[in-house]
Each structure stands twice: as structure tokens, then as C-alpha cells.
Structure 1
Amino acid sequence: MSDLTLDDLDRLNVAHSTEGNAAALRSMGGTEALARRIGVDLQKGLRTNQVDTLRAQYGNNHLPHLPRPPMKSFGRLFIETLLGDTSLWILIVLVVVDVANADYESEFPYESVAIGLAILTVALVTATNDYTVELQIRKPKEIARSDATCTVIRDGERCLINPDDIVVGDIVALGAGDGVPADGIIVSGEGTKTDEKALTGEPEDCPKDVDGRDPFMLSYTTVKIIQSASECRMMAISVGSNSQWGKIRASLEFETEPF
């Protein structure tokens, strides 16, 4: 069992504190020293017999399901469409006034009725589309997650596992376009950049430097570029609810997309 505590790892993974995290890593002796304390070989990865021990010590990479916001009914979506658009609301008022004041003996208000029917048609189509979207987002996101795979190095071999099965110390192999499945420290892949705008708001792709200023890779971000090879590798240091996204998600009242 590693002598590192969750608090020790948390000090390496403070949100919006890249320089502080890098300083904490240096104070621990760098990535290789951290790997030795976890008990992982950066080339061969974890041994299979370590996985359960590390999962028990640091947790798993599964994020608990949060309740979804109450579903809006079709009627509510229809009313919101009618009342939420100022231009439609003005047209509705004008149509109602015109129809109410029409002289039906001299001329039926065909134009106002046509406008009213057009407004109802627009509202119905919009509400139908919105209701369809509501139904789609009710589908459990865990279905997609359960079918996902990622590559880790264990016992010196490449293994395909479910992202939920990643543990602290796992060496995860990532290619351009892959989502980062846990928080970690890059250990190979010079010239790697990740897209973090959804998580941190950083608009530019973020360079990840092995033993450099910012070696930290964050879950629910995306690998964009790897200049030196076809893949980069990272050592997982925070998983599941202990990751930065996991902590943000724990503060949410309802289920939402990862930004």
C-alpha cells in the first residue's frame, strides 16, 4: 500500500493552480519519485495484483449518478414558446384585439386568423422539437460510459478497460482526439496539447510538458495535438469524485453535461 494519502494527491491537483500544483510536485521529488511512492513503473504500468489495493485506497473512477432536472411537459414548453418570444407575444395581442373588435357582418378577419394559426403552428413545431430533446436527454448517460474503453498499461502490456476501472497509478495511453478519463500527470508525449475550455474556460489549447510547467491533464478535457509520437501517456493521480470534474459535479444539484 502506498504511503501517499488522498490529501497528498489533492495538493497536486488544486483547481486553477497550475503553478502551485507544479511546485507541490517538485516538492515531492517530481513525477518519477511520485510514481515510486505509488508503486507504479512508468514504462510497464501497474501490476494486476496492485489494482484492487489502489482502488480501495484511492477510490474508483466511477461518478455517481445525479438526479436530472424535472422534465418539462409538452404543454409547458408550448406556453413558454408563446410567452417567451416578445415578437410572438405582441402578435398574439394584436390578433386577439383585431378578432375581438372585428365587424363580422361586413368582413370576416381572415388575415388575423391566418396570422394566429401561423403563430400556433410555429409554437407547436418549436415545442415539439424541444420536447423531443427533453426525451433524448432522459436517456441514461451511463449507457455510453459503460460501452466506452480506454487503453492502460498493466504488467507491461496494453489493455483495453472501461474508464470506470482506472485507478490511481494507472498509465493511460491517449491519442489525438481522445477524452482524458481521469486527472493525471503526463509522462511521455512531447508537444501534447489539450482542449480545456469546457472545464477551466481556457480558450487556447494548453501545452502539457513532461516535468515542465504544466504536466497536469484533467478529466473531461480532450487531447488535441501530440507532436512527438502517435500517443501520449499519463499517470492517473485523481479518479472519480476526487478529480477536478468530480468535485465540480458533486456541487451540482442535477445531472448536466460535462460542460
Structure 2
Amino acid sequence: MVFGRQKAVAGSAAVKKISQRLTEFSAMERYILLSRLKTREKGLDIVDVEQLSEQYPSNEITHEKPRPWYLQLLNAFLNPFTGILLAIALISFVTNMLQASGDRDLSAVMVILILVLISGGLRFFQEFRSGREAEELRSMVKTTVTVIRRENGREEINMADLLPGDIVALSAGDMVPADLRVLHAKDLFISQSALTGESQPV
């Protein structure tokens, strides 16, 4: 059963409140919990789904927004290699200025600055392109979850459409889509390797 939608929460007070709510729900008797979430073991009905969908628009995990292009461009030039090249260019420029006017040659400085521009430009182009491709892949991947709804029984829906009070049916290999309370289980094992690194299921 779903307790609440996944959200990026700012502030320790909000995190503490959610933690207390989850602890409270985990200790409740099943019938009290179902009543509190205004649901039944046969799931939500169409009216409940419509009302809750207006109240809770999306069950999506907030992803980090890509940095603006100008920050990516700036970051492409802020690295040790560029710093060393600029230091060499500065030293070369200063030593050239100290020479007599007829012996001055700024070609080395120009070559180094061109190398810096090419290096930073290539790095920016690669990172910008890979960031865009990652965003496109993320938008293409749709994770689904099996829920029990009163009218349709078991149905597969997009994880973003999951609502508080939904009865979720999990089977082997399924990803837990939200904060849940187990109502019925048979041979339940959970792999926490992504969270704790522990390879054995518990």
C-alpha cells in the first residue's frame, strides 16, 4: 500500500515529519491504516483515483536539473590542464615582453591559447551532448507498477500515476515504487544492495 508520493524534500523539519508519519503508519492495525488512507484491500475506485490525481499530480522522483550551458562552458575551461597551459602562456608572454622589440615572437603564446580553446571547446561539446542524450534516455524510460483497483482488478500503470492508498502488487524482481506498507506477503525477500551494498537479500 502506498503511503505517499516520492518528493525531493528540503529541510530537516519536513523530513522529520515524513519519518514520523511513516513510523506511525507502519505500527497501525491494517483496518485502521486502510481507513486512514481512505482505501480498501480491493483498491481505489475510479472516483478515488480522479480525486487523488487532482490532489497529488505526480509520483516522480525529482532528478537533478542539468546545469545551464554557460556554466558547462565555464566548467570546461576550469581544470588543471587548462591552468597549466595558461600559466605556460603567461610565462611565455612575459619572457617575450622582456626581450628586445625585434626578437619578440608571440607565436608560442598564440599556439597555447588555441590549444586551450580547442581543449575546452571539445570538452564542453562532449559533456553538453552526453547530458542531452542522458535526458532523452530518462524521458524514454517509463517504469510501470502493478496496482489493484476495484473496477479492473490488477492493472499495470505508469509509476508516475501511483497514488496514496493504492494497493501495489509486487512480485520477484519488482522495484518498490514508493513508501509502502506490506499487507500480505509470502516468502518476501528484499535486496538492499543499491542502498547498503549488502548483496544478500533480507
TM-score bracket relative to the smaller structure: 0.5 to 0.7
C-alpha displacement at 1:103, in angstroms?
6.8
The equivalent of 1:186 in structure 2 is 182
CA deviation profile, 1:63-121 (whole Å, cap 9, x unmatched): 6x99x677324xx6555543554334323322433454567967967766554443333
Verify: 1:166 aligned to 2:165, yes or no: no
More helix by share: 2
The equivalent of 1:126 in structure 2 is 123
Structure 2 gap segments, 5+ residues each: 5-13
Q: Which amino acid aligns with 1:71?
A: P
More strand by share: 1
Q: Give the direction of change, closer, same or farther, for the CA distance of 1:54–1:120 in structure 2 (3 Å limit).
A: closer
Verify: 1:52 aligned to 2:50, yes or no: yes
Identity of aligned residues (%): 19
C-alpha displacement at 1:15, in angstroms?
2.8
The equivalent of 1:33 in structure 2 is 32
Q: Give the direction of change, closer, same or farther, for the CA distance of 1:45–1:126 in structure 2 (3 Å limit).
A: same
Q: Who wins on radius of gyration, i.e. which is larger?
A: 2
**TM alignment of 1:165-244, pairs within 5 A:** 165-174=161-170, 178-187=174-183, 188=185, 190-194=188-192, 197=195, 204=196
Maintained 8 Å contact 1:193/1:205 = no
Structure 2 Cα separation of the partners of residues 196 and 15 of structure 1:
21
Structure 1 gap segments, 5+ residues each: 1-5, 7-13, 198-203, 207-223, 228-259
The equivalent of 1:61 in structure 2 is 58
CA deviation profile, 1:156-208 (whole Å, cap 9, x unmatched): 732111223222211123456655433332333633244675xxxxxx269xx
CA deviation profile, 1:191-243 (whole Å, cap 9, x unmatched): 3244675xxxxxx269xxxxxxxxxxxxxxxxx9866xxxxxxxxxxxxxxxx
Q: Give the direction of change, closer, same or farther, for the CA distance of 1:17–1:30 in structure 2 (3 Å limit).
A: farther
Q: Give the direction of change, closer, same or farther, for the CA distance of 1:194–1:70 in structure 2 (3 Å limit).
A: closer
The equivalent of 2:77 in structure 1 is 82
Verify: 1:94 aligned to 2:91, yes or no: yes
Q: Secondary structure at the match of 1:151?
A: strand
Q: Give the direction of change, closer, same or farther, for the CA distance of 1:182–1:149 in structure 2 (3 Å limit).
A: same
Maintained 8 Å contact 1:81/1:127 = yes
Q: Which amino acid aligns with 2:68?
A: M
Structure 2 Cα separation of the partners of residues 130 and 32 of structure 1:
52
Maintained 8 Å contact 1:176/1:226 = no
Q: Give the direction of change, closer, same or farther, for the CA distance of 1:166–1:103 in structure 2 (3 Å limit).
A: same
Structure 2 Cα separation of the partners of residues 172 and 225 of structure 1:
24
Aligned-CA RMSD value: 4.6
Maintained 8 Å contact 1:99/1:113 = no
Q: Give the direction of change, closer, same or farther, for the CA distance of 1:97–1:172 in structure 2 (3 Å limit).
A: farther
